[in-house]
Amino acid sequence: MKHLIKNPRDFWSGVMFLAIGALFAGIAFTYKLGTAARMGPGFFPFVLGIILAALGVAILLAAMRDSNKGPGVEKFHWMPVFWVLMPIVVFGFGLKVAGMIVMGLFVVIVSSIGSEDFKLKPTIWLAIGLVIFCSLSFVAGLKLPIPLCPGLDFFEQFALCRV
């Protein structure tokens, strides 16, 4: 198998397009397709899904030709993926509950761990500075409806905490 794949990056993108195309087309099939004159909700996505899958096959096949040699797929670095995306996900789920002050500190400090030369002390100062800046500019200045404080009754007494 391995020696057949001359261009791994193309090959795997072909596989990806084929899978996604098939998935979209398959789901579209469960909606009403309709006729060309009266297109149902499934018509256009079904056609596009088929086209995408076909393109995927073409890319995949071309990646097995000798004339199309290419470099291998670079290694995935899971550490930066984790340290960048995890705090964002936590921010998304936690904003309503914990508020922007807590979540902001969390995002800045935790994401910093992903850097090669992480140092705790300057990071904490950075986090505090950024949270103050964001609270002043986005919430106080632009009046975006972002909860600042944790969603507890206790905090309701502070004017800044009311959204």
Partner 1 sequence: MELLANLQLGFGVALAGTNILYCFVGVLLGTLIGVLPGIGPVATIAMLLPATFVLPPVSALIMLAGIYYGASYGGSTTAILVNLPGEVSSVVTCLDGYQMARNGHAGKALAIAAIGSFFAGTVATLLVAAFAPPLAELALKFGPADYFSLMVLGLIAAVVLAHGSLIKAVAMIVLGLLVGLIGTDVNSGVARYSFGLPELIDGVGIGPIAMGIFGFGEIIRNLEHGQKRDVFVKKVTGLMPTWQDLRISALPIVRGTTLGSALGILPGGGPILGSFSAYTLEKKLSKDPSRFGKGAIEGVAAPESANNAAAQTSFIPLLTLGIPSNPVMALMIGAMIIHGIQPGPQIMTAKPDLFWGMIASMWVGNLLLVVLNLPMIGMWVKLLTLEYRFLYPAILIFCCIGVYSINNTWMDVILAAGFGFIGYLFGKLDCEAAPLLLGFVLGPMMEENLRRALLLSRGDPAVFVTRPISATLLVLAVLLLIIVAAPAVRKKREETFVEEE
Which of 93, 132, 152, 162 binds partner 1 (CB under 8 A)? It is: 93
Q: Is the CA virtual torsion 148, 149, 152, 158 positive or negative?
A: negative
Burial zone of 38 (CB within 10 Å; 0-12 exposed, 13-18 middle, 19+ buried): exposed
With CA atoms as reference, report the closest residue to 147 among 158, 132, 162, 137: 162
Q: Is 21 in the site for partner 1 (CB under 8 A)?
A: yes
Does residue 118 bind partner 1 (CB under 8 A)?
yes
Question: Given the complex with partner 1, which of 31 and 158 has the nearer CB atom?
Answer: 31
> Minimum distance from CB of 6 to partner 1 (Å)?
14
Q: Are 3 and 69 in contact (CB under 8 A)?
A: no
Angle between helices 78-112 and 120-134 (to 10 degrees): 70
Whole-angstrom Cα Rg for the chain:
25
Task: List the interface residues with partner 1, window 26-55 (CB under 8 A).
Answer: 27-28, 31-32, 35-42, 44-45, 48-49, 51-52, 55
Q: What part of residues 127-156 is at the interface with partner 1 (CB under 8 A)?
A: 127, 130-131, 134, 138, 142-146
Would you count residue 89 as binding partner 1 (CB under 8 A)?
Answer: yes
Nearer to partner 1, 22 or 155 (CB): 22
Q: Cβ neighbours of residue 135 under 8 Å, at least 6 residues apart?
A: 100, 101, 148, 160
Residue closer to partner 1 (CB basis): 1 or 142: 142
Question: If binding means CB under 8 A, how many residues of this protein chain bind partner 1?
Answer: 76
Among 98, 99, 111, 149, binds partner 1 (CB under 8 A): 111
Structural tokens at position 140? 């106080």
